[in-house]
Amino acid sequence: MRLFKFIIIISFCLFGIYSISMNFVDESKNFTHQSEIDYPVDKVFPQFNNLQNFTTWNDYFTGKKDLNFTYFTPYEGIGSAMKYSDKDNGEFGDFFIRYSNPNRTLRYQLFDGENDNPYLIDVKFTATGNKTRMLWNVQTPKRSYLERSLNLVAEDFFVENIDKSMKNLYQLLGNKVDKDQKLASVKYDSLMIENREGGLLLGVNVSTRNTKDILFKNVIMNHGKVLNFVRSDLGKKDDEFGAPVLLINPSNLKDKEVSYFYGVPLPKRVAVSDNNFNFQTVNASKVYVMYYQGNYNNRVKNIQQLLKQAKKDTLRNGLLIEEFLEDPTENQDVKLKLSLPVFR
């Protein structure tokens, strides 16, 4: 009995000490952290401004096991949003981009778990030659009296997370630079002949108005939709599927409305529960190829050259294959591999 009373007294004392100490801890905490990465801001910013990119290298998400992500349109910039959770729903939350000034500033809002008060994370980007300096400003959620002790460790947690994330991002961008160097050796606007292997695509069938602004925005939207489904619903990593491909009848490119298929190559069929997605087989064939870099709408001139060559060689053609060598992004040039299957 004495032992029980002693435990109660000690517990009350400890609780009293804790309560008194919490009077000196703010209900939320602000702190800043500076980081730098050896890549130019135009390479770095898109990795922050697109949440599908962001979750592939940020340690806050990659450090947690078995997380599933659901992304919502728009897939980049202001208004971008996503949900995350693990299988048991022990880890879950919502993440938003609330402000985006390209290559300059971003504001994120993170709701972690059941907390109705968000983390506010501002990131300021400063270009310093071929390097990018980032100033992080983090404001933790307002916490109840008994939870304020979490603010004592919040700064160390986020600083460690940011430092690990920068290492991940550096490695990711290194791989992208290797890819860019390979693309730099590509001869654009030159007609070539190749033998293209057959393959299996998973994607969506689309119809849209064929105007300069609407078509490309529609392509970007479906690009995000397909990648979201493959990564989130199917749980595929980036090295488990190929570069995005658009299939279209080249004779319809001047119509007021066009239909196309947008998908990504997969090694084999998988179970798909969403009826919006379907598989399409691309047969092996001889193809006339041109690499194109520039405004998406101006690719038509290169396509016409491919068609002209096929006609000159008295060959029939199949659906045009537009392979996106880089993710399509609004207000930016595209890099495409245009392939026209030809046969007798």
Quick one: average pLDDT of 258-273?
Answer: 91
Query: What's the whole-model pTM score?
Result: 0.62
Give the pLDDT of residue 258. 94
Q: Are 55 and 62 in contact (CB under 8 A)?
A: yes
The mean of the pLDDT values for the chain is: 85
In angstroms, what CA-CA distances link 127 with 37, 105, 150, 180, 290? Answer: 10, 12, 34, 20, 35
pLDDT at 195 over 60: yes
The mean-pLDDT minimum among 19-33, 36-50, 178-192, 313-327 falls in 19-33
pLDDT at 300 over 80: yes
Q: Please provide residue 237's backbone torsions phi and psi, each rounded to the nearest 5 degrees.
A: -85, 165
What's the pLDDT band for 18 if we cut at 50, 70, 90? Answer: very low
Q: What percent of the chain has pLDDT over 70?
A: 87
Quick one: average pLDDT of 268-291?
Answer: 91
In tens, the pLDDT along 328-340 reads 988 889 999 999 9
Give the pLDDT of residue 86. 84
Give the pLDDT of residue 153. 54
Residue with tokens 């968000």: 118
Q: Are 303 and 250 in contact (CB under 8 A)?
A: yes
Measure the CA–CA gap between 170 and 165, rounded to whole angstroms: 9
Quick one: average pLDDT of 25-33?
Answer: 75
In tens, the pLDDT along 58-81 reads 998 887 777 888 888 888 899 999
Residue with tokens 């997380």: 67
Q: What is the CATH number of domain 192-343?
A: 3.20.80.10
- The 3-state secondary structure of 41-71, one letter per residue: HHHHHHHHHEHHHHHHHCHHHHCCCCCEEEE
pLDDT at 13 over 50: no
Q: Report domain extents, the chain.
A: 24-182, 192-343
Q: Residue 71's beta-bridge partner residues?
A: 82
Give the pLDDT of residue 175. 76
Residue with tokens 């990504």: 264
* Residue 218 neighbours by CB distance under 10 Å: 19
Measure the CA–CA gap between 37 and 165, rounded to whole angstroms: 11
Measure the CA–CA gap between 292 and 329, rounded to whole angstroms: 15
In angstroms, what CA-CA distances link 108 with 115, 138, 248? Answer: 16, 10, 38
Topology of 24-182 in CATH? Alpha-D-Glucose-1,6-Bisphosphate; Chain A, domain 4 (3.30.530)
Comparing 47 with 19, which gets the higher pLDDT? 47
Q: Are 95 and 51 in contact (CB under 8 A)?
A: yes
Give the pLDDT of residue 24. 44
As separate numbers, helices (DSSP H) first and strands (DSSP E) second, the chain gives 7, 16
What's the pLDDT band for 19 if we cut at 50, 70, 90? Answer: very low
Q: What is the DSSP string of 177-193?
A: HHHHHHHHT--BT--EE
The mean-pLDDT minimum among 31-45, 118-132, 142-156 falls in 142-156
Q: Are 118 and 98 in contact (CB under 8 A)?
A: no
Sign of CA dihedral 41, 175, 320, 202: negative
What's the pLDDT band for 144 if we cut at 50, 70, 90? Answer: low
Q: What percent of the chain has pLDDT over 90?
A: 48
pLDDT at 145 over 70: no
pLDDT at 165 over 80: yes
Give the pLDDT of residue 1. 55
Give, as one character, the DSSP assignment of residue 76.
Answer: B
pLDDT at 126 over 90: yes
Give, as one character, the DSSP assignment of residue 239.
Answer: G
pLDDT at 134 over 90: yes
Quick one: average pLDDT of 79-92?
Answer: 86
pLDDT at 283 over 70: yes
Give the pLDDT of residue 152. 55
In tens, the pLDDT along 204-241 reads 999 999 987 899 999 999 999 999 899 888 888 777 88
Residue with tokens 């690009």: 223
